[in-house]
C-alpha cells in the first residue's frame, strides 16, 4: 500500500507546471466522481460518543468534544476541501528563508462501523499542495488511521491500531487533525520535534489482547511496531536518523470504584537507529519500563489520569567518538486532565519520558506539555487553540550534549455554511531551537490558511 517513496534518490527536479496541473485535475476529478455516488444517500442518526476510563498504556486517545456532541457511527463519509495559505518559511530554515503562497486540495474518506462484536473506525486523508514557487513540495500526501476492536468472547477482545503518514514538509492544520484528549502510548513516535522540510514516512501499529477476568479486573498483552524513514537530506554534514522498533508488554487493570481505575503496565522496547552521524550510524536501544497509573472520572465532565515509574535504558552498537554510552535508569511520569461541557472542551497533559528524537537524535529525555481547547463562540462560530511545547535533551550519552526546544501553536475559527460546508481560518506558528552537538538550523515559521470544506451525504452501513 506504500506509495513510491523515492527515498534513495532524494528530491526529483520537480513537476512541470503541466504535470502539476494534471495531478491536481486527476485528484479532484477522482474525488468528485466518488462523491457523485454518495450524494443520493441519507444519513442515519449518529451514535453517542463514549469516553471510557482506561489505565495509562492503552494508547487510546479520543477527540476533544463538547458535552452531548456525538461521534459518527455505521456510515461512510466523504468530504472535500480547498484552501489557500501563505507560509513565511517553507523550507523551515532561518538561514535561507523562502516565503510562498499555495493552494491545497484535501479530501477525507471515513468509515465507521459498530456491531455487538465489532467496532471499526477508519479515516484516510489525501491532500495535494500546489506552491507558486517552491515546486519540490508539490506532491500528493497521505494520512490514514485505523482503530478496530473485535470482541472474541464475553471476556476477550482484540484491538488493532494503525497510524500511517507519508508527506512532504510540515502541515499540522491542513490535514484536518483533531485535538485529541488523553495520553498516547509510551512507545509512540515523537511528534513534538520537526525536522527540516523533507519527505517523511511514519507508521505505528499496535495490537492489544485483553482478558476481562471479571467486571473489575482485566489483564492485557500489548505489542507494537513503529517505523520512521526520511527522504534525501539537504544539509551537508548532517543526517537524520531513520528508526525501526518493536515493543511488547503486559498490563493489569483494576476498577477500584465505579469511576476510578488503577493500572500496572510493564513494557519492553527494542529500537534501532540508522543514518545519523553525531551519535553513531547504527545504534540499538533496549528499554524496560514499569508504569503505575490511576485514571478517574472526577465528575460528569472531568476525567484525569496520572502515571509514573522507572525506565531502564541500555545502549548497544558503536557510538561516535563524541558520544560515549551511558546506560541508566530514568524516572518517567506525567498526567492529563480533560474537561468537556456544553460550550467549552479542553485538555491539558504533561509528561517526561525517554522516547525517540524525532529524527534529529536517537533516544532523548523528552519533556512535553500539551494544551488544547475548543469553544463555542457567537452565533455558529467555533474557535480552537492547540499548543504543544517540548524539550528534548541527549544526556543519555556521556560526552554528547544536545538540546532542542520546540513550540507549535495553532489557532482556528470555524463556521458552517449551510448544512454541509464549513469555512475555516487558521494561524499556525512553529518555533524550534537546537543547541549543542548538532548543526541543524533553528527556525521560526508562520502560516495563515483560509479554506472551505464540504461534506457529502453519507452511506449508511446498517445497525
pLDDT higher than 50, residue 403: yes
Mean pLDDT of 196-201: 80
Q: Identify the pLDDT of residue 46.
A: 41
Q: Identify the pLDDT of residue 45.
A: 38
pLDDT higher than 80, residue 233: no
pLDDT higher than 90, residue 344: yes
pLDDT higher than 50, residue 43: no
Decide which of 397 and 267 is more confident.
Answer: 267
Q: What's 25's DSSP letter?
A: H
Segments making up each domain of the chain, as ranges: 17-43+52-460
Mean pLDDT of 44-66: 68
Residues in Cβ contact with 440 at an 8 Å cutoff, skipping those fewer than 6 apart: 195, 196, 235, 238, 360, 434
Rounded to the nearest angstrom, the gap between the alpha carbon of residue 123 and the centroid of all alpha carbons in its chain is 13
Query: What's the pLDDT tens digit per position in 81-137?
Result: 999 999 999 888 888 889 999 999 999 999 999 999 999 999 999 999 999 998 888
450: closest CA among 415, 413, 424?
Answer: 424
Burial 8-22 (b: 16+ CB within 10 A, else e): eeebeeebeeeebee
Give the pLDDT band (50/70/90) at residue 275: confident
397: closest CA among 353, 445, 363, 420?
Answer: 363
Q: Identify the pLDDT of residue 221.
A: 96
pLDDT higher than 80, residue 438: no
Q: Identify the pLDDT of residue 295.
A: 95
Report whether CATH 3.40.50 matches the domain 17-43+52-460: no
Q: Identify the pLDDT of residue 280.
A: 65
pLDDT higher than 80, residue 276: no
The residues facing 28 across adjacent strands are none
Q: Identify the pLDDT of residue 376.
A: 95
Percent of the chain at pLDDT > 90 equals: 54
Cβ neighbours, 10 Å, residue 391: 19
| Cα gap 322→293, rounded to integer Å | 38
| Cα gap 225→269, rounded to integer Å | 10
- List the single range of 34-43, 97-106, 190-199 with lowest mean pLDDT: 34-43
Q: Identify the pLDDT of residue 284.
A: 87
| Cα gap 455→453, rounded to integer Å | 7
Q: Identify the pLDDT of residue 290.
A: 97
pLDDT higher than 60, residue 277: yes
Decide which of 379 and 282 is more confident.
Answer: 379
Mean pLDDT of 301-316: 93
- By the 10 Å C-beta count (0-12 exposed, 13-18 middle, 19+ buried), 36 is classed as exposed
Decide which of 72 and 413 is more confident.
Answer: 413
DSSP string, 172-224: TTTTTPPPEES---TTSPP-S--PSS-EEEEEEEEEEEEEE-SSSEEEEEEEE
User: Are 135 and 14 in contact, with CB atoms under 8 Å apart?
Assistant: yes
Amino acid at each position: 500500500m506504500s506509495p513510491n517513496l523515492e527515498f534513495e534518490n532524494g528530491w526529483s527536479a520537480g513537476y512541470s507546471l503541466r504535470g502539476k496541473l494534471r495531478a491536481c485535475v486527476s485528484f479532484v476529478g477522482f474525488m468528485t466522481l466518488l462523491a457523485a455516488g454518495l450524494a443520493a444517500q441519507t444519513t442515519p442518526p449518529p451514535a453517542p460518543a463514549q469516553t471510557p476510563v482506561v489505565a495509562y498504556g492503552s494508547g487510546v486517545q479520543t477527540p476533544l468534544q463538547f458535552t452531548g456532541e456525538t461521534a459518527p457511527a455505521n456510515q461512510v463519509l466523504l468530504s472535500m476541501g480547498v484552501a489557500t495559505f501563505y507560509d513565511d518559511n517553507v523550507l523551515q530554515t532561518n538561514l535561507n528563508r523562502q516565503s510562498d503562497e499555495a493552494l491545497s486540495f484535501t479530501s477525507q474518506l471515513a468509515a465507521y462501523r459498530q456491531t455487538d462484536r465489532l467496532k471499526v473506525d477508519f479515516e484516510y486523508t489525501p491532500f495535494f499542495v500546489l506552491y507558486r514557487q517552491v515546486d519540490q513540495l508539490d506532491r500528493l500526501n497521505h494520512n490514514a488511521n485505523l482503530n478496530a476492536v473485535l470482541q472474541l468472547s464475553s471476556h476477550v477482545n482484540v484491538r488493532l491500531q494503525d497510524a500511517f503518514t507519508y508527506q512532504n514538509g510540515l502541515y499540522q492544520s491542513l490535514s484536518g487533525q483533531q485535538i485529541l484528549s488523553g495520553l498516547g502510548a509510551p512507545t509512540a513516535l515523537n511528534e513534538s520535534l520537526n525536522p527540516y522540510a523533507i519527505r517523511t514516512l511514519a507508521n505505528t501499529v499496535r495490537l492489544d489482547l485483553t482478558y476481562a477476568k471479571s467486571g473489575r479486573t482485566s489483564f492485557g498483552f500489548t505489542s507494537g511496531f513503529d517505523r520512521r524513514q526520511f527522504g534525501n537530506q539537504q544539509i551537508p554534514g548532517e543526517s537524520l536518523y531513520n528508526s525501526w522498533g518493536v515493543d511488547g508488554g503486559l498490563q493489569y487493570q483494576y476498577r477500584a470504584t465505579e469511576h476510578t481505575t488503577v493500572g500496572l503496565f510493564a513494557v519492553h522496547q527494542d529500537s534501532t537507529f540508522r543514518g545519523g552521524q553525531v551519535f553513531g550510524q547504527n545504534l540499538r536501544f533496549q528499554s524496560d519500563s514499569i508504569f503505575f497509573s490511576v485514571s478517574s472520572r472526577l465528575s460528569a465532565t472531568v476525567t484525569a489520569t496520572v502515571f509514573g515509574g522507572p525506565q531502564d535504558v541500555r545502549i548497544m552498537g558503536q557510538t561516535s567518538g563524541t558520544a560515549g554510552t551511558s546506560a541508566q535508569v530514568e524516572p518517567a511520569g506525567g498526567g492529563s486532565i480533560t474537561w468537556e461541557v456544553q460550550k467549552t472542551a479542553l485538555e491539558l497533559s504533561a509528561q517526561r519520558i525517554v522516547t525517540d528524537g524525532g529524527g534529529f537524535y536517537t533516544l532523548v529525555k523528552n519533556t512535553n506539555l500539551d494544551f488544547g481547547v475548543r469553544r463555542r463562540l457567537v452565533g455558529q462560530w467555533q474557535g480552537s487553540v492547540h499548543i504543544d511545547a517540548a524539550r528534548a535533551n541527549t544526556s543519555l550519552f556521556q560526552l554528547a550534549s544536545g538540546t532542542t526546544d520546540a513550540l507549535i501553536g495553532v489557532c482556528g475559527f470555524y463556521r458552517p455554511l449551510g448544512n454541509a460546508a464549513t469555512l475555516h481560518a487558521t494561524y499556525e506558528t512553529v518555533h524550534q531551537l537546537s543547541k549543542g552537538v548538532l548543526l541543524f538550523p533553528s527556525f521560526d515559521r508562520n502560516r495563515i490558511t483560509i479554506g472551505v470544506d464540504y461534506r457529502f451525504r453519507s452511506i449508511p452501513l446498517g445497525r
